[in-house]
């Protein structure tokens, strides 16, 4: 499908979490990288894609940081976040007109390095196949299973790291999340809900530097990668 034929696309950014593993005094999405918050960097990556016509940001009800960002003065739509990621995404989807935005991207608030090229590759492959899909990168390391000692070595063949954005038809994703929540199924990303509902999910290979900032060391690594982009 040519870019000129792409539909208007909605984007959802769940940002209601606190990121306890970062061991920071503020939610990790509000830590700064090169003068901007992680959240601002992540949202800017979506704004750079012309097909993305609306962005819904799911924030905690008691969020006291968003108002101090430049995003608070933009046309981004703020909605109430939920207890878990799946609740936040579903809350946002309830406000998205599936006729105006037949497809929705969901992107982590703490992935500030995703490239515009990768997002457009995801859109191209999914819209051409008329199937939902995710950015992912192949597992390169030897995989071990165990707790305090190795129980077994797991073949890395056919294993992928799931990344974001994840991209699905709006109405179908909304139904899958709603049904999973009602059934008490814990899904960790949108693809999990779609898989549980029996839908095909395409794997679109993306860059491995599309890291999610979860621990203190990730912040330094993200800063380094951003410096390379600036150069």
Task: Select from 81, 83, 14 the least CA-distant residue to 42.
Answer: 14
Tell me the per-residue pLDDT of 2-48, one tens digit each, with 9 for 90 and over: 787 889 999 999 999 876 666 678 899 999 998 999 999 999 999 99
CB 29, CB 15: distance < 8 Å: yes
DSSP assignment letter at 22: G
Domain count, the chain: 1
CATH code, domain carrying 26: 3.90.550.10
Q: At what angle do helices 170-182 and 85-93 cross, to 10 degrees?
A: 130
What was the pLDDT predicted at 4?
Answer: 77
User: In this prediction, what percent of the chain has a pLDDT beyond 70?
Assistant: 96
Global pTM reads: 0.93
CB 130, CB 50: distance < 8 Å: no
What was the pLDDT predicted at 98?
Answer: 96
Q: Which domain holds residue 165?
A: 3-230
Strand partners, 134: 166, 203
């Amino acid at each position: 499908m040519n870019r000129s034929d792409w539909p208007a696309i909605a984007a959802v950014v769940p940002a209601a979490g606190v990121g306890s593993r970062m061991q920071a005094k503020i939610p990790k999405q509000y830590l700064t990288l090169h003068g901007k918050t992680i959240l601002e960097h992540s949202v800017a990556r979506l704004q750079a894609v012309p097909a993305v016509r609306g962005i819904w940001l799911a924030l905690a009800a008691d969020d006291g940081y968003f108002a101090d960002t430049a995003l608070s003065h933009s046309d981004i739509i703020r909605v109430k976040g939920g207890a878990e990621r799946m609740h936040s995404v579903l809350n946002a989807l309830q406000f998205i007109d599936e006729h105006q935005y037949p497809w929705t991207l969901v992107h982590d608030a703490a992935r500030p390095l995703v490239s515009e090229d990768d997002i457009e590759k995801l859109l191209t492959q999914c819209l051409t196949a008329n199937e939902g899909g995710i950015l992912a990168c192949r597992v390169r390391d030897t995989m071990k299973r165990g707790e305090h000692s190795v129980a077994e070595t797991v073949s890395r063949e056919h294993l992928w790291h799931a990344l974001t954005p994840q991209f699905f038809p709006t109405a179908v994703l909304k139904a899958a999340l709603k049904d999973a929540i009602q059934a008490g199924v814990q899904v960790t990303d949108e693809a999990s809900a779609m898989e549980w509902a029996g839908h095909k999910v395409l794997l679109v290979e993306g860059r491995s530097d599309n890291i999610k900032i979860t621990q203190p060391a990730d912040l330094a690594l993200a800063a380094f990668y951003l410096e390379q982009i600036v150069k």
